[in-house]
Structure 1
């Protein structure tokens, strides 16, 4: 089997304090054999400053890919990140999801040809998020007692996933579902992304572009592997995103499942090389 080379693509938009906490946790991984690409959906100067400060102390390669702010375009940001990536295995993480110390090593362990890994998240309350960011709390250092206390206080929405790990044989099912898919924590072989033309940038507004990717991958023969009880991340609280297009986007995904669609209408192959080369990758 070929060596797994990992690129971690972190999407962000105008939340430099959360992004800094996430990337600092990435610097503290037990496995540092990977690269980080910040896929920026049009953030302003504060985020650029935060990334530059992180690059100055990064123990591994860290690049910043940026696109103009034209509304919610996470699919395009992830595609730009993929095009800039050097790894043969891509892990997608959102810039408000703090990984545990073994996040990369667990994803590397679960990497299997012909499969994607759909990870999961533990939601932090608004109060716990504020404490984490203002006090620069290291969530890696939470003891079992701390986690149980946070759960009882409502600062975590679940805790069992942080205390135990499933065996690998429980992770793959022949019964496919595209529900509960979160691109805030998902890993895909680069070759499989290229096979289906990446994320579909034709989706308008928030919602379901991640489920669409997984449906098209399944239609192309890629199975879904459950990363729960192994790859949990701490999802920092934020206000709900406006979801005007969510219902219509969901309908598109359902139809593509019926039609056995595999290729994105507008994806990786529709990006112009000049878009990535000329001014969109921020200098280190």
Structure 2
């Protein structure tokens, strides 16, 4: 299978630089890298262009104008340009463990999606993190929280069974799924603007179609760089859209990826 590593980003090139370094450091590289850019300035574009010139991975930079938090839209636009069969998704503030891509690829199964954990990098070490361009962590590293999640023992992941209900531990910064399942659900619901629920609402529709979820504990690790919480001004609206999806057992959204295909 061909894999597409999908990273969403918005105006934090210092963080994205570390993420891209961790992409290049992957034991098993993806077939392509998709950068879903929700309207960043030229500083981010310059960083991506510089990475393109030296990376062995084909890079697709998908950008649109900044019109507020429109993550659902830019993710749909990026996936519409993907060539991979399998999408491995994270965010531009998550440094990847060297085995991140390989772990997702090895555990991928038909009619299922994967979701992993994240280690938290604390605010107080950010200056050191960016100055020294740190991309490697372990259980004993300073300045991290939830350090047990740094432990990689893939054998232990077999004890986590597939689930037919949505897990509260599912996060859009560490998920993977088959592109055909994403397309069948019509991708992200673009009626959901502003922060919150866009990932879980997508996954609920995929589960309504028969996909099951599996938590990939002890592998598929990311390190989330601390940042202030995004505005939750649209959360009530997004909560209602998700609740309607649950009640109606929706398989597809109306306002999705189909307009870009």
Do Structure 1 and Structure 2 share a fold, with TM-score over 0.5?
Answer: yes
Correspondence list, 1:133-282, <5 A: 133-139=130-136, 142=137, 144=138, 147-150=139-142, 155-165=143-153, 167-271=156-260
Work out the CA distance in 1 between the residues paired with 2:211 and 2:80: 21
Work out the CA distance in 1 between the residues paired with 2:135 and 2:172: 24
Work out the CA distance in 2 between the residues paired with 1:20 and 1:250: 33
Work out the CA distance in 1 between the residues paired with 2:83 and 2:44: 23
Residues 13 and 40 in structure 1, CA contact (< 8 A), matched pair in contact too? yes
Shift of 1:265: 2.1
Shift of 1:180: 2.7
Q: What TM-score does the superposition give when structure 2 sets the normalisation length?
A: 0.95
Residues 178 and 215 in structure 1, CA contact (< 8 A), matched pair in contact too? no
Shift of 1:149: 4.9
**Aligned twin of 2:37:** 40
Work out the CA distance in 1 between the residues paired with 2:127 and 2:71: 25
C-alpha distance after superposition, 1:186-231 (max 9, x if no partner): 1010000011001111112111000000100000101011123211
**Aligned twin of 1:279:** none
Shift of 1:169: 3.0
Work out the CA distance in 1 between the residues paired with 2:52 and 2:209: 37
Shift of 1:92: 1.1
Moved more, 175-184 or 78-87: 175-184
2:112 is aligned, of 100, 111, 115, to 115
Correspondence list, 1:72-87, <5 A: 72-87=69-84
Shift of 1:163: 1.8
Correspondence list, 1:45-64, <5 A: 45-64=42-61
Calculate the aligned-residue CA RMSD, in Å: 1.5
Work out the CA distance in 2 between the residues paired with 1:227 and 1:189: 16
Answering whether residue 100 of structure 2 is matched by residue 103 of structure 1, we say: yes
Sort the Cα spacing of 1:33 and 1:249 in 2 relative to 1 into closer, same or farther, 3 A: closer
**Aligned twin of 1:19:** 16
Shift of 1:246: 1.4
Work out the CA distance in 2 between the residues paired with 1:119 and 1:174: 14
Q: What TM-score does the superposition give when structure 1 sets the normalisation length?
A: 0.87
Residues 196 and 217 in structure 1, CA contact (< 8 A), matched pair in contact too? yes
- SS in structure 2 at match of 1:7: strand
Sort the Cα spacing of 1:175 and 1:194 in 2 relative to 1 into closer, same or farther, 3 A: closer
Sort the Cα spacing of 1:6 and 1:127 in 2 relative to 1 into closer, same or farther, 3 A: same
Work out the CA distance in 1 between the residues paired with 2:179 and 2:23: 21
Shift of 1:175: 4.7
Where structure 1 has 5 or more consecutive residues not aligned to the other structure, the ranges are 274-284
Work out the CA distance in 1 between the residues paired with 2:9 and 2:163: 34
Residues 21 and 135 in structure 2, CA contact (< 8 A), matched pair in contact too? no
